[in-house]
């Protein structure tokens, strides 16, 4: 770590660490770990480069309690076919804006992936379950229950151990920032050690890009910098480097506005139809009901009587149309404040919700905080719903363009999980299924190559120079200062309602800010944060450019509002807007759904 003192300059202290591998996985979250675990089955060398520590990183770093799947032993006797799930997801979950080929891959494989995860040590069967296989399955994303609830608190630890047991090499605290190509094919990647300050040069015949969501483009709704529902370390590094390498990126315009959820600690409890079901409801100070509670699914018909899936889907889609609660609009009418209310639940229902929360991200610690620091009890107390930070996630499905086999425009560069664009509610099913499939294909490709492609000197020297420019600088700004200025721009010029003049001004101001704000890094940790701000700016530019390109407004679930184009225009815009660098310039094209 510099400064090490002594008579070595910083430039002399920075080593270039060269690593050769068959498959490189960039980002060791759920998708990346699954990719590595599968790839190494082929007997090839597999490396994961992770900017944090794979044991507790990414969206599932502190747990996950649910993953949707088509579960034949349950859904077939129910009378719900695979095609029913596809239709639910296309019409209901996605509003038509969906990559059907990726949906087929994920929906068709996630049950198998859950069985793999069970083999890796994750418990998902319970003696009190009435279902075949003793699974716990609840309604969440589709017209019938498809979400498997399970003990996912330590899933990242299980996946890390499985990967290491199989011989995967994991480089933690290495932030990859650059992809290297040769003749249109992948050749490797460059990263920076955020503890040792070294440059890492990876040479590989196949790469899986899985760096997750793009966060921190907007201010935290509550103030404390990294108080986000999603992991603050995920800054869209993958999309930024993919765009620079010539890969297309879609759906960036779908960055949301502020939205209502648990206030204070931003935590993934979602609407009452998610982790706090079935007792969860939204009520006001005097008990007025804004979102009613539900019931556990009645499984008693299973094996006796099949549902009419088409009817069930129609009713579900109708109910979804009015289901979105615009809490800001309600507040303007003087309604609220709003509270998550489980006080009407039975003891069994509340214990189910507490179990679920304890396995969901941040939930285990959060329950301890609620009980011991706030003396809170779901049985008697309610939690207020307040504005949460804007996101590009879940329904928004912003990410890189891949073919049906998860390969990008750069041959040998695959992508998986939330890195990939076009599948709303991809989340963990996308991570598990796309991770596995991309790892499989990446390893097969690597196995066909005779040698590693060459890498040029210039990118290595350029990255070293970029790092040195931030370290050696005598006077410069702390990374937090630039990040705040970027967030101000995205929040104001690219807010809830967008229009051409504001978006163009936002882009101009971003460009000016970027060129006029020299950053100073005191050490490798700060250097990593400075490089994250570069990713944040590049993702923000993608968001604003794409917002300019989408000349329409769109209703839920892919909500997008242009004040100057207030109508939805399916004829021209029920499609993905793809931005891609061609001859050094970002150009847009339409990709049909």
Partner 1 sequence: MYPPVVFDEIECNGCNICVDICPMDIFGPNPVKGKPPIVLYGDECRYCGACWMRCARRKNHALRIVVPPAMRVSILRNVSTRRR
Q: Which is nearer to partner 1, 221 or 402 (CB)?
A: 221
> x/- contact string, 528-557, with partner 1 (CB under 8 A)?
xx----------------------------
Q: What are phi and psi of 338, to 5 degrees?
A: -115, 140
Quick one: which of 121, 124, 127, 125 has its CA closest to 154?
121
Sheet hosting strand 206-209, strand order edge to edge: 169-171, 46-49, 23-26, 206-209, 413-415
Among the listed residues 13, 91, 222, 589, the single contact to partner 1 using CB under 8 A: 222
Task: Identify the three-state secondary structure at position 306.
Answer: coil
3-state secondary structure of 199: strand
Pairing of strands 199-203, 185-193: antiparallel
- Provide the minimum distance between the beta carbon of 418 and partner 1 in the complex, in angstroms, as a whole number: 16
Binding mask 155-174 for partner 1 (x = CB under 8 A): ------------------x-
Distance, in Å, from the CA atom of 54 to the CA atom of 32, rounded to the nearest integer, reads 9
> Which listed range, 95-103, 225-233, 409-417, 449-457, lies at the site for partner 1 (CB under 8 A)?
225-233
* Closest CB 64 distance from partner 1, rounded Å: 13
Cα dist from 470 to 4, 155, 436, whole Å: 17, 37, 38
Tell me whether residue 142 or residue 359 sits nearer to partner 1 (CB atom).
359
Asked if 68 contacts 140 with a C-beta cutoff of 8 angstroms, the reply is yes
**Only segment of 17-25, 52-60, 425-433, 511-519 that touches partner 1 (CB under 8 A):** 52-60
- Choosing from 196, 381, 491, 500, the residue that interacts with partner 1 (CB under 8 A) is 381
Does 206 participate in binding partner 1 (rule CB under 8 A)? no
Indicate whether 377 belongs to the interface with partner 1 (CB under 8 A). Answer: yes
**Using CB under 8 A, which of 376, 469, 481, 491 touches partner 1?**
376
Whether residue 3 has a cis bond before it, omega within 30° of 0? yes
Q: Distance between CA 176 and CA 241 in Å, rounded?
A: 9
The closest of 204, 203, 172, 208 to 18, measured between CA atoms, is 203
Position 56 contacts partner 1 (CB under 8 A): yes
Confirm if 423 and 99 have CB atoms less than 8 A apart: yes
What distance in Å separates the CA atoms of residue 520 and residue 206, rounded to the nearest whole number? 34
Selected binder of partner 1 within 55, 76, 196, 549 (CB under 8 A): 55
CB of 56 to partner 1, least distance (A): 4
Decide if residue 373 touches partner 1 (CB under 8 A): yes
Q: Is the dihedral of CA 420, 423, 427, 433 positive or negative?
A: negative
Across the strands, what pairs with 249?
Answer: 400, 579
User: Per CB under 8 A, does 227 bind partner 1?
Assistant: yes
Please choose, from the candidates 400, 397, 338, the residue with its C-alpha nearest in 3D space to the C-alpha of residue 554: 397
Q: Could you tell me which of 523, 425, 417 has the C-alpha nearest to residue 470?
A: 523
CA 305 to chain centre: 38
The contacts of residue 333 (CB under 8 Å, 6+ apart) are none
Contact between 225 and partner 1 per CB under 8 A: yes
- Indicate which single residue of 313, 382, 545, 550 sits in contact with partner 1 (rule: CB under 8 A): 382
Residue 99 sits in the site that holds partner 1 (CB under 8 A): no
CA angle 58, 436, 141 (to 5 degrees): 65
Give the nearer residue to partner 1 in terms of CB position, either 294 or 343: 343
Among 17, 90, 317, 386, binds partner 1 (CB under 8 A): 386
Q: Taking CB under 8 A as the rule, does residue 4 contact partner 1?
A: no
Q: How far is the CB of 362 from partner 1 (least distance, A)?
A: 5
Region near partner 1 per CB under 8 A, out of 199-207, 323-331, 361-369, 466-474: 361-369
Please report whether residue 522 would count as binding partner 1 according to CB under 8 A: no
**Among residues 316, 364, 477, 588, which is the contact residue for partner 1, using CB under 8 A?**
364
Backbone angles phi, psi at 451, to 5 degrees: -150, 165
Select from 50-58, 182-190, 420-428, 488-496 the region that touches partner 1 (CB under 8 A).
Answer: 50-58
Q: How far apart are CA 188 and CA 19, in angstroms?
A: 10
For residues 258 to 287, the per-residue mask of contacts with partner 1, x marking binding by CB under 8 A and - elsewhere, is ----xxxx-------------------x-x
E strand or H helix at 220: none
- Answer yes or no whether residue 333 interacts with partner 1 by CB under 8 A: no
CB of 185 vs partner 1, minimal distance in Å? 33
Distance CA 543, CA 467 (A): 26
Closest CA to 416 of 48, 128, 61: 48
Nearest distance from C-beta of residue 399 to partner 1, angstroms = 21
By CB under 8 A, tell whether 57 contacts partner 1: yes
477 contributes a contact to partner 1 by CB under 8 A: no
CB of 343 to partner 1, least distance (A): 4
The mark string for 176-195 relative to partner 1 (x by CB under 8 A, - otherwise) is ------------------xx
335 part of the interface to partner 1, by CB under 8 A: no
Q: Are strands 169-171 and 147-149 parallel, antiparallel or unpaired?
A: unpaired
Nearer to partner 1, 339 or 355 (CB): 339
Binding mask 117-146 for partner 1 (x = CB under 8 A): ------------------------------
Strand partners of residue 339: 283, 384
Residue 223 binds partner 1, judged by CB under 8 A:
yes
Q: What is the dihedral of CA 532, 535, 539, 541, to 10 degrees?
A: 120
Cα four-point dihedral sign 417, 420, 421, 422: negative
If one asks whether residue 361 binds partner 1 (CB under 8 A), the answer comes out as yes
The SS3 assignment for 123 reads coil
Nearest residue (CB) to partner 1, 222 versus 568: 222
Q: Which of 288, 368, 403, 564 binds partner 1 (CB under 8 A)?
A: 368
H/E element, 56: none
CA pair distance 442, 38, nearest whole angstrom: 10
Binding site for partner 1 (CB under 8 A): 52-53, 55-58, 61-62, 153, 173, 194-195, 222-228, 231-233, 262-265, 285, 287, 339, 341, 343, 361-362, 364-366, 368-370, 373-374, 376-377, 379-384, 386, 525, 528-529
């Amino acid at each position: 770590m510099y400064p090490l003192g002594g008579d070595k300059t910083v430039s002399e202290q920075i080593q270039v660490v060269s690593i050769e591998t068959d498959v490189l996985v960039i980002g060791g979250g759920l998708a990346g770990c699954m990719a590595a675990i599968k790839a190494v089955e082929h007997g090839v060398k597999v490396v994961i480069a992770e900017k944090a520590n794979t044991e507790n990183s990414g969206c599932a770093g502190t747990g996950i309690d649910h993953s949707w799947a088509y579960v034949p032993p349950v859904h077939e006797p129910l009378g719900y076919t695979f095609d029913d799930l596809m239709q639910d997801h296309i019409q209901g979950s996605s509003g038509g804006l969906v990559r059907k080929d990726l949906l087929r891959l994920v929906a068709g494989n996630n049950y198998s992936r859950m069985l793999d995860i069970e083999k890796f040590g994750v418990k998902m069967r319970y003696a009190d379950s009435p279902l075949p296989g003793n699974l716990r399955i609840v309604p969440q994303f589709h017209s019938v229950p498809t979400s498997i609830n399970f003990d996912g608190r330590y899933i990242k630890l299980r996946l890390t151990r499985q990967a290491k047991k199989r011989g995967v090499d994991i480089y933690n605290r290495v932030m990859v920032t650059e992809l290297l190509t040769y003749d249109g094919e992948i050749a490797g990647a460059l990263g920076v050690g955020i503890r040792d300050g070294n440059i890492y040069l990876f040479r590989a015949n196949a790469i899986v890009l899985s760096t997750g969501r793009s966060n921190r483009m907007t201010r935290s709704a509550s103030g404390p910098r990294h108080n986000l529902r999603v992991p603050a370390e995920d800054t869209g590094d993958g999309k930024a480097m993919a765009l620079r390498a010539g890969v297309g990126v879609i759906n960036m315009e779908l960055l949301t506005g502020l939205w209502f959820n648990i206030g204070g600690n931003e935590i993934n409890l979602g609407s009452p139809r998610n982790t706090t079901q079935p007792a969860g409801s939204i009520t006001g100070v005097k008990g007025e009901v804004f979102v009613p509670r539900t019931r556990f699914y009645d499984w008693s018909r299973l094996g006796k009587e099949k549902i009419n899936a088409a009817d069930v889907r129609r009713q579900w889609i109708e109910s979804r149309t009015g289901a979105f609660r615009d809490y800001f609009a309600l507040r303007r009418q003087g309604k609220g404040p709003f509270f998550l209310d489980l006080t009407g639940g039975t003891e069994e229902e509340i214990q189910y919700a507490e179990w679920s929360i304890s396995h969901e991200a941040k939930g285990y610690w959060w329950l301890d905080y609620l009980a011991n620091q706030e003396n809170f009890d779901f049985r008697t107390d309610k939690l207020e719903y307040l504005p949460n930070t804007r996101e590009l996630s879940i329904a928004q499905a912003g990410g890189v363009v891949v073919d049906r086999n998860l390969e990008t425009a750069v041959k040998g560069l695959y992508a998986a999980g939330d890195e990939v664009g076009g599948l709303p509610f991809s989340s963990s099913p996308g991570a598990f299924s796309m991770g596995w499939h991309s790892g499989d294909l990446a390893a097969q490709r690597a196995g066909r190559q005779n040698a590693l492609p060459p890498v040029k000197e210039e990118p290595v020297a350029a990255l070293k120079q970029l790092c040195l420019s931030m370290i050696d600088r005598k006077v410069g700004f702390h990374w937090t200062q630039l990040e705040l200025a970027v967030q101000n721009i995205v929040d104001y010029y690219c807010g809830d309602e967008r229009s051409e003049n504001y978006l163009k001004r936002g882009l101009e101001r971003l460009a000016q800010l970027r060129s006029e704000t020299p950053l100073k890094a005191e050490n490798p940790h700060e250097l990593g944060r400075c490089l994250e701000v570069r990713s944040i700016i590049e993702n923000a530019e993608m968001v604003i450019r794409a917002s300019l390109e989408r000349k329409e407004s769109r209703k839920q679930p892919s909500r997008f509002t242009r004040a100057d184009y207030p109508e939805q225009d399916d004829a021209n815009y029920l499609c993905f807007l793809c931005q891609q660098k061609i001859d050094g310039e970002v150009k847009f094209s339409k990709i049909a759904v």
